Structure 1
């Protein structure tokens, strides 16, 4: 018996289209977003657009812009501080759980991702570097096998994508981050939960510091 593919509801499709435009920089921080304008751009009716925009506002990707319409939420130091404060706790727990559940798949995929990250550094390829960073952390979340972590990070990682896209304009400060990734990987691969937790927390805290500074320069 063949599986029946059910197409996603239109509001869901609109939601993901606008979310990706925000995360990929097509819609810039501060840019005005109206129901009418977005419906015209996507060639859909206003109702599913309104539903999608309300959801995105609730998740912090859009914010009010006067009496009518919305705008893309700015990237602020406070946003980065809150986001990475949350990530510091989640990443610590995830790294410890991953170390306790580490298997051959994690070791193989982790090594591949580290090689991809180093290659992106050498090529000065920022989009590839961001993609490899996302893969690395999601491999840890998935290895931790905690459904609540996956649920929370499914939304929060989009905020991380936004921040990284707008503040990483070169790879000058990225080599130390990949050194940290490698140390986290080795601790997890060795099954050393305590070391993995400590390194993951330090990594999130350090990233928070320089990303807050970068966000402040961006909004100045």
Structure 2
């Protein structure tokens, strides 16, 4: 997911399915296309200045990712955010992230991680901390969260982990943007700093345990806040 891609940013280049997919993925992840919003191919074709064929293919890929769903005779809509789905996602995410942290720390301990990979994790951590201190908008902090975890995946040396998690992060980011619980954000970034410290010291077991606890705590808190937000009259 690229941070500089959006519906408005698609240029008059050949209408590749991947380009359309990335644009729509960005707008769903950042709630520019809101949960429950109906998807109109004719509108998207006009906005992106492409034919309906690449849009149709991209929409099917997004449906496969669970970000779009059938909406009766009206076609497709952006999938609503469901606390139960997020609970299951974080349940599945926990061992995967713990493995990434352990692999990353082991590579550091074995001197197999290169300087660029380590520096990328440091930079993403500092960038996220700066966003939190500056009380940046929810989408910016959500993107920083994503990038910090991507840095961990890349340091792990396991490209499959990043590939598996990329599609899931759109779900996570829009849930984070919807709730934007400031107290939890502060705790989360304190945990990120502790995790990065363990990984960059090559402390394998500690890094894995910290990530496991971090994902579990974040999942519980996120589902709780989602239930509170969705229970408000404006979301009924």
> TM-score scaled by structure 2?
0.83
Q: Which position in structure 1 is the counterpart of 2:23? A: 17
For 2:129, the equivalent position in structure 1 comes to 118
On the 8 A contact 1:92/1:200 being kept in 2, the answer is yes
CA distance in 1, matches of 2:61, 2:129: 37
Equivalent of 2:148 in 107, 128, 136: 136
Of 35, 39, 51, which residue of structure 1 is paired with 2:57? 51
Alignment of 1:127-206 (within 5 A): 127-168=139-180, 171-206=182-217
What is the match of residue 26 of structure 1? Answer: 32
Q: Are the aligned partners of 2:117 and 2:154 in contact in 1 as well (CA < 8 Å)?
A: no
User: Which runs of no fewer than 5 residues in structure 1 stay unpaired?
Assistant: 1-6
Distance in 2, matches of 1:43 and 1:115, equals: 38
Distance 1:10 1:113, change over 3 A: closer
Matched residue, 2:68? 62
CA-CA distance at 1:207 after TM superposition: 0.4
- Give the drift of 1:107: 4.2
Deviations 1:110-140 (A, max 9, x none): 3333332222222111343223222221111
Segments of 4+ moved more than 6 angstroms:
none
Q: Pick 1 or 2: higher relative contact order, CA cutoff 8 A, min separation 6.
A: 1
> Please, what is the CA RMSD of the aligned residues?
1.9
Contact 1:80 1:215 (8 Å CA) reproduced: no
Cα distance in 1 for partners of 2:87, 2:48 equals 34
Shift of 1:9: 5.2
Gaps spanning 5+ residues in structure 2: where? Answer: 1-12, 232-236
Distance in 2 of aligned mates of 1:199 and 1:211: 18
Normalising by structure 1, we get a TM-score of 0.88
Cα offset, 1:8, TM superposition: 6.7
Deviation at 1:44, TM superposition (A): 2.0
SS at match of 1:174: helix
